[in-house]
Chain A
Amino acid sequence: MRSKIKEFFESLFTQDMGRQARQVEVLTIIVFIILLFVIGFLWQYKVVDQLNIFELLLSKR
């Protein structure tokens, strides 16, 4: 598993632009999934008065 992760990150610096672009795509999808989890967590987390951070930002006053 560790060697696979190492191989993945090494291929990000390959000279083959096509392969590099594919790896960037894969990495971006992973980061996007992480972002969704972060948003999910923040949605659940009440910052103040039962409001999550998004509700707080968009609340009037």
Chain B
Amino acid sequence: MRERLKLLFNYLQLLLPYWDKSLISLLCVGLTVLFGMATPLITKVLIDYVYPNKDLRVLTLLILFGLLIFLFDTYFSGVAGYLDTFIHQTLSIDLRKRFFTKLLRLPLDYFHEKRVGDIMVRVTDDIDAIVDLTAEIVPVIIKTILRLISLLIICLLIDRNLTLLALLGIPLYFVQTRFFAKRFEEIQERSQKQESEIYSFYQEKMSNIKTIKSFNQDIHEAGRLIDKLNKMFALARENLFLGLFNSFLDSTLITLWVSFIGWYAGYRVITGHISIGEIMAILVYLGQVHQPFLDFGVIYKSAVRSFVSINRVNEILLAEPEAYQDVRTFVLYEIEGNIRFDKVSFRYPDTEEYVLKNISFDSKPGEITAICGASGAGKSTILDLILRFIKPSEGAIYIDKYNLQEVSLMTLRANISIVSQDVVIFSGTVRENLQYGCIHPEEEKMSSAAKDAEIHDFILTLAEGYDTKIGEGGVGLSGGQLQRLSLARAFLRDVKILVLDEATSALDSISEAKIYENLKRRIKEKTVILISHRISTLRQADKICVISENRISESGTFDELLSRQGDFYEFYRASEEKNEV
């Protein structure tokens, strides 16, 4: 319990920037509670004094007083609602921003472990639940306590015996709320897990719609979805039955309690202890006493649901991020761009098998260094190592004289431009996509980069040129056009190190040769690392490192490697047989 309160307190601190608005909102809530107490008291005076004494003046004053209360009550409850909504919305934006920023700073491994659908549920439903709790718990608790205290004071003033008897029913209500809350929490936890699974399922199927269609698996996939939805439905049904039983017990307890109090109140009137006006007022108040308890019950159940969400969101908020800008690291401000792999080995945690073993090579500015090898040889792992998505299990990588593990991650990635084999285009215009990651994009530089990537002419044929929308909901582009766009984006960033991972695999040899001709003009002082298994691409390199059985088996220029008749020669012959040369 203490642990949970601590968690809640951490989130309540998010309200600190809005302390003034929260305070005014609480003041308004308090006033509306007090205004709500007036009507039964006015009725009491009308019955006990005004009507028997036929006092028209007091009648008029009481009605005017009632109208005045109505006006203030309307204003203050409106303001409380407005400020609560303001705090709720702003808090939601704050928390989503904090969550998303943290999410983007988590290491890549994290995204391998968690499915996208699961993260989506956390970013939407879980954050909503936390915001609901954080923004509403304090006003509801204050409102409830204030209402309860006011009701009790007024009731005690009217009839002490009746009020004390009415209070005896309270512990019973708490016992049953606690009993049900535990069961609700357990169902909630299972529901959220199941919901994450359904989101992940949708996300995975939508991303692979082509494969599903080509394998004729649409009916089979729909069946799998129904299984998952049925499980969700079973949980919803369980929740519903428990909720119904809980409501039934709530209402029964309250009705029995109020009935008994009603009988006793009548007895007090008959025996002359209280007046008719007083009994009218006290019965209205005692009828309202159950409301604070119902409110407590609702907020308690909401809190139970939110604690499951808090744990899920905290899993991400408290996860160890990548060291983006650690003070102990070197800042790569102006670098030459020398890359050196020094006896680098890599294996994934918890596995014995090495993906790369004892890799050493140099790559200098103005030089294109190619890494080639069969599929699965570990070529792309080299790229991940350079970008520090993963770190070497043994050995070290240097940029100029700095060990990669000791440089600031933010400045490291600011010096590297990458074109990966999975081209990513964001929803937006061609211009926005090209300028992605550019600090000061210039129009002239952008068109020059597009020309060098052989995509400029195509862009001009689009309806709105560089302002044409592409990606989701925009113009569709072919694989080759996407690769050219991705190359143009990398050229535009104009950084010291350029990594091309199968960047021209979807292009024909003539276009590829043109692009490399342009690239060579651009890279006079830049280091280029080329990852490919295409002979036409490898011809463009100044130096080739051949990876075979997780090691560099040989390295040299294209012609040198051919003349050695080693692994590269075999690789060349195999490509020749496949007519790739």
With A57-B38, A61-B48: A25-B86 Cβ-Cβ less than 8 Å: no
Asked if residues A25 and B24 are in contact (CB atoms below 8 Å), the reply is yes
State the Cβ distance, B41 to closest chain A Cβ, in Å.
Answer: 4
| B27: chain A residues within 8 A (beta carbon) | 28, 32
Asked if B245 is at the interface (CB within 8 A of a chain A CB), the reply is: no
Asked if residues B58 and A48 are in contact (CB atoms below 8 Å), the reply is yes
**0/1 per residue, A4-31, Cβ < 8 Å to B?**
0000000000000100010011001101
Asked if residues A61 and B275 are in contact (CB atoms below 8 Å), the reply is yes
Asked if B142 is at the interface (CB within 8 A of a chain A CB), the reply is: no
Interface residues of B toward A: which range?
A: 20 to 34
Asked if residues B42 and A57 are in contact (CB atoms below 8 Å), the reply is yes
CA distance A31 to B154 in the complex (A): 26
State the Cβ distance, B396 to closest chain A Cβ, in Å.
Answer: 50
Asked if B68 is at the interface (CB within 8 A of a chain A CB), the reply is: yes
Name the residue of chain B whose CB is nearest to the CB of A38. Answer: B68
Name the residue of chain B whose CB is nearest to the CB of A21. Answer: B86
Asked if A33 is at the interface (CB within 8 A of a chain B CB), the reply is: no
**0/1 per residue, B1-42, Cβ < 8 Å to A?**
000000000000000000011001001100100000010011
> Could you write out 6 A-B pairs with CB less than 8 Å apart?
A17-B86, A24-B79, A42-B65, A47-B61, A57-B38, A57-B41
| B31: chain A residues within 8 A (beta carbon) | 32, 35
Asked if residues A48 and B55 are in contact (CB atoms below 8 Å), the reply is yes
Asked if residues A21 and B61 are in contact (CB atoms below 8 Å), the reply is no
Asked if residues A35 and B72 are in contact (CB atoms below 8 Å), the reply is yes
| B79: chain A residues within 8 A (beta carbon) | 24, 28
State the Cβ distance, A29 to closest chain B Cβ, in Å.
Answer: 7
CA distance A25 to B76 in the complex (A): 11
* Chain A binding surface, main DSSP class: helix
Q: Which of B21, B49, B157 has a CB less than 8 Å from the CB of A25?
A: B21
| B157: chain A residues within 8 A (beta carbon) | 58
Asked if residues B20 and A25 are in contact (CB atoms below 8 Å), the reply is yes
State the Cβ distance, B227 to closest chain A Cβ, in Å.
Answer: 45
| B154: chain A residues within 8 A (beta carbon) | 58
Query: Other CB < 8 Å A-B pairs besides A28-B24, A58-B157, 10 of them?
Result: A25-B21, A29-B24, A31-B76, A32-B31, A48-B58, A53-B61, A56-B58, A57-B45, A60-B158, A61-B278
Of residues 29 to 47 in A, which have CB atoms within 8 Å of B's CB atoms? Answer: 29, 31-32, 35, 38, 42, 47
Asked if residues B58 and A58 are in contact (CB atoms below 8 Å), the reply is no
State the Cβ distance, A40 to closest chain B Cβ, in Å.
Answer: 14
| B20: chain A residues within 8 A (beta carbon) | 25
Asked if B83 is at the interface (CB within 8 A of a chain A CB), the reply is: yes
CA distance A29 to B25 in the complex (A): 11
Asked if residues A21 and B41 are in contact (CB atoms below 8 Å), the reply is no
Asked if residues B24 and A56 are in contact (CB atoms below 8 Å), the reply is no
Asked if B82 is at the interface (CB within 8 A of a chain A CB), the reply is: yes
State the Cβ distance, B78 to closest chain A Cβ, in Å.
Answer: 9
Asked if B202 is at the interface (CB within 8 A of a chain A CB), the reply is: no
| A31: chain B residues within 8 A (beta carbon) | 72, 75-76
For the complex of A and B, list the 7 residue pairs with the smallest distance between their C-beta atoms, beginning with the closest: A57-B41, A21-B86, A28-B79, A25-B24, A28-B24, A48-B58, A61-B275
State the Cβ distance, B74 to closest chain A Cβ, in Å.
Answer: 11
State the Cβ distance, A26 to closest chain B Cβ, in Å.
Answer: 10
State the Cβ distance, B28 to closest chain A Cβ, in Å.
Answer: 7
Of residues 415 to 466 in B, which have CB atoms within 8 Å of A's CB atoms? Answer: none
Asked if residues A58 and B21 are in contact (CB atoms below 8 Å), the reply is no
Asked if residues B58 and A47 are in contact (CB atoms below 8 Å), the reply is yes
Asked if residues A53 and B65 are in contact (CB atoms below 8 Å), the reply is yes
State the Cβ distance, A31 to closest chain B Cβ, in Å.
Answer: 6
CA distance A24 to B27 in the complex (A): 14
State the Cβ distance, A57 to closest chain B Cβ, in Å.
Answer: 4
With A48-B58, A53-B65: A21-B83 Cβ-Cβ less than 8 Å: yes
Name the residue of chain B whose CB is nearest to the CB of A34. Answer: B72
CA distance A26 to B178 in the complex (A): 42
